[in-house]
Amino acid sequence: MTDLDAVLGNAGPTGLKERIAAELAAVRERSLAYTDADDDMLVRQHSPLMSPLVWDLAHVGNYEELWVLREVGGIEPLRPEIDHLYDAFKHPRKDRPSLPLLGPAEARKYISGVRGRVLDVLDMVDLAAPDPLRSGGYVFGLVLQHEHQHDETMLATLQLSRRPGLVRDGELPPGRPAAEPEVHIPAGVFTMGTDTVAWAYDNERPAHRIYLPGYWIDRRPVTNAAYLEFVEDGGYRDPRWWLPQGWEWAERNGVEAPLYWTRDGDTWWRVRFGREEPVPPDEPVQHVSWYEADAYARWAGKRLPTEAEWEKACGGRTYPWGEADPGHLGRWANLGHRAARPSPAGAFPDGASPYGVEQLIGDVWEWTDSWFQPYPGYRCFPYEEYSKVFFGETYRVLRGGSWATHPSAVRTTFRNWDYPIRRQIFAGFRCARSEE
Ligand SMILES: [Fe+2]
């Protein structure tokens, strides 16, 4: 039995419950590891873009309380007076440090109290019930993915803090040279989105057929070495490559390289979790905005792929390599913070899609050319603030997850979105071009 069978319920209700309990324990261990720091580190705001870490910590417990305890368990609110503090729509991130938030010790106590009751609900709930929150353990998938997403956000905050010694690093396989830098995807119809992945979000549904003309897509994400050619070629000083809004943004903010990069003579350095190191040439570039990705692509004579092109390149599977859950072995992708960085280009040949496109999942989120819009036939579930309020021409879609994304919170249909100016996220890109 694979993990996917368990997620899909093929393990039977008991196996699924065991899997959920194990995943809940693992994600909490992760959240507690990222907040294992002194109180000042946790209550301080390290950037106006981010919440204090202690906000994320209590927020994941509050979300779990709302959805599992109140909605499914029918349990009375434990601390109704704090709900508004942890409602992401009530207070923007920049205002959160001035709120009367729970302190670190109180936050840990609150989320562990919630978790105890969540496990009681898990014990009693019927995961075969027709109700869509219970069916297949959807509500548990919702809170698990949510907590992992906040863990990734916490890593971005830890990176912004520039404090050393707080984030674990690890080993990664070596890179490999690529024979052909681009892969051709022939014209044709493919199925985008999903009706069947048990824990997929509303914005990934429904599955629908789309025709795409033939195109070329980069076999791997754009590396630091390739990106450096754009920098050294004066890419940041030439408005020809930039959209007007992007040019204006770069000028106003003095942007002339990826975030965390500085030049010292002929060498480029970067800061990674508080440590300075030379920029490694063969890693995918990260901490670039959509505008920078778009400008690079134009300079290279290419463009960003649409999200449909990105997804088609995955070959119509749950993961590019097939259905095997990436949680085991770590053979297919650099996910789940096995190391605190992207892996070198070519490090995961077994993770290639049937077309031979590599590193689609893991390493860096990949900016696409697409706005975050609903699929035809979209139905909001279970609440409007997950996706619906973000649809429109404000956010660009990112695909594929980063090294910091947990395997249970990514798949080929998964859609992330952000403002085109954002750089603190673990995002890079690959390019595409139309057939001539
Ligand atoms: Fe949240």
Give DSSP secondary structure letters for 300-313. Answer: TT-BPPPHHHHHHT
Average pLDDT, the chain: 94
The CA 176 to ligand 1 mean position distance, Å, reads 38
The CA 185 to ligand 1 mean position distance, Å, reads 36
The CA 147 to ligand 1 mean position distance, Å, reads 8
The CA 7 to ligand 1 mean position distance, Å, reads 22
Tokens of 54: 């202690």
Sheet (strand 182-185) strand order: 182-185, 215-218, 432-434
pLDDT (tens, 9 = 90+) of the chain, 436 residues, equals 334 434 434 455 669 999 999 999 999 999 999 999 999 999 999 999 999 999 999 999 999 999 999 999 999 999 999 999 999 889 888 888 889 999 999 999 999 999 999 999 999 999 999 999 999 999 999 999 999 999 999 999 999 999 999 999 999 999 999 889 999 999 999 999 999 998 999 999 999 999 999 999 999 999 999 999 999 999 999 999 999 999 999 999 999 999 999 999 999 999 999 999 999 999 999 999 999 999 999 999 999 999 999 999 999 999 999 988 876 557 899 999 999 999 999 999 999 999 999 999 999 999 999 999 999 999 999 988 889 999 999 999 999 999 999 999 999 999 999 999 999 999 999 999 999 8
The CA 34 to ligand 1 mean position distance, Å, reads 16
The CA 277 to ligand 1 mean position distance, Å, reads 32
Tokens of 330: 């770590």
Task: Name which of 128, 205, 197, 158 is nearest 386 in CA terms.
Answer: 205
The CA 100 to ligand 1 mean position distance, Å, reads 18
364 contacts: CB under 8 Å, gap ≥ 6: 221, 284, 285, 286, 342, 400, 402, 403, 426, 427, 428, 429
The CA 89 to ligand 1 mean position distance, Å, reads 10
The CA 54 to ligand 1 mean position distance, Å, reads 13
The CA 297 to ligand 1 mean position distance, Å, reads 32
Tokens of 248: 């204006």
Q: Cα torsion at 36, 101, 387, 154 (round to 10°)?
A: -20
Element counts in the chain: helices (H) and strands (E): 10, 12
Residues in a beta bridge with 397: 417
Are the beta carbons of 403 and 330 closer than 8 angstroms? no
The CA 227 to ligand 1 mean position distance, Å, reads 33
The CA 299 to ligand 1 mean position distance, Å, reads 37
